[in-house]
Amino acid sequence: MRSIAYLCIILSAGLASACSNNQQQGQQSSSPAKIAIHNNSVNIAYTDTGKNDTTLLFVHGWAINKGYWANQIKYFGKRYRVVAMDLAGFGNSGKNRDKWDVYAFASDVDSVIKELDLKKVILIGHSMSGDIVLQSAIDNKDRVIGLVGIDNFKNPGYQLTEKDKKEYEAAMAQMKQHFVKTATDYFNQALFYKTTTQAVRNRVLNDVAHADSVIAIASMANTVNFDELPKLKQAGKKLYVIGSDVTPVDTTHMVAEKIPFKIYNIHATGHYPMIEKPDDFNLLLDKVIQQL
């Protein structure tokens, strides 16, 4: 149906990603002492692994949690300080607030940076969290040294038409009525590739089925009006994107506005390259980090 198809287009552009994983990554013995982090009384769950002046801060997208970064924590934690967090409303973080937009989620990231006193931070955000880490980079210009999007920033600068908006509203209304079915259809149509394994498919579909639908829908609806192009200018950072070549980035507006960027594509993967092809993903992220 057209509303589902349009939802796929919009969300694949980086406005959302999905999955909530109950598997949480434990800390290694080299991890710093654990500090309780709260953002306006909301508990923010996180893992903190390794020691280094440079910190890789991994942030998930729609309904996802820090468990999806387990392979990256293992790979990079030997050389860097690696922090993976659950945004409020997802994973093991608290739900006791009523704001679920980019700015509220960015403040979760800000609280982690502040409370852990991180000074040389590379922000890495998957899907919806591309916008979240972008805003956090603006909030923390003196601490953030790098900005990395994972399968997002598909077309910065694209402006929704009135027709787009109406179809998006229709898709959201359908999501409110039939959350699991609509989300499942969306994932099957847009987020998996033909080579995506059944294990990955099952993991994602199980996670979205168990997501808090009220928070998930609110966070999805509140991301559509975030204008990435002026925010990229404001951040003043070169944008790095690692994503699937199945849905490549349209760089037209970034080129026109002279926004610095570098795109790395992983061949033939779905929306979750960090778990679908973790070895390829880690090598590309390593390249980005070396440039930073």
Summarize pLDDT for 50-95 with one digit per residue, the tens.
999 999 999 998 878 899 999 999 999 999 999 999 999 999 999 9
Dihedral of the alpha carbons of 193, 198, 201, 206, in degrees to the nearest 10: 170
3-state secondary structure of 146: strand
pTM over 0.85, yes/no: yes
Which of 3.40.640.10, 3.40.50.1820, 3.40.50.300, 1.10.10.60 is the CATH number of 2-291? 3.40.50.1820
The pLDDT confidence band at residue 33, using thresholds 50, 70 and 90, is low
Q: What share of the chain in percent tops pLDDT 90?
A: 74
Alpha helices in the chain (DSSP H): 2-10, 70-76, 102-115, 129-139, 162-177, 179-186, 198-209, 213-221, 228-235, 252-256, 273-276, 278-291
Instruction: Please say whether the beta carbons of 111 and 43 come within 8 A.
Output: no
Instruction: Please say whether the beta carbons of 224 and 246 come within 8 A.
Output: no
Please count the residues of the chain: 292
pLDDT of 6 strictly over 70: no
Nearest alpha-carbon partner for 101 in 263, 220, 243: 220
Identify the pLDDT of residue 128.
94
Instruction: Please say whether the beta carbons of 66 and 91 come within 8 A.
Output: yes
Identify the pLDDT of residue 8.
44
Identify the pLDDT of residue 291.
94
Identify the pLDDT of residue 14.
41
Residue 83 burial (CB count, 10 A): 27
Identify the pLDDT of residue 222.
82
Residue 26 C-beta-side C-alpha neighbours within 13 Å: 2
Nearest alpha-carbon partner for 64 in 220, 196, 232, 176: 220
Q: What CA–CA distances, in Å, run from 171 to 7, 11, 82, 188?
A: 6, 11, 37, 16
How confident is the model over 118-162, as pLDDT tens digits?
999 999 999 999 999 999 999 999 999 999 999 999 999 998 889
pLDDT of 227 strictly over 70: yes
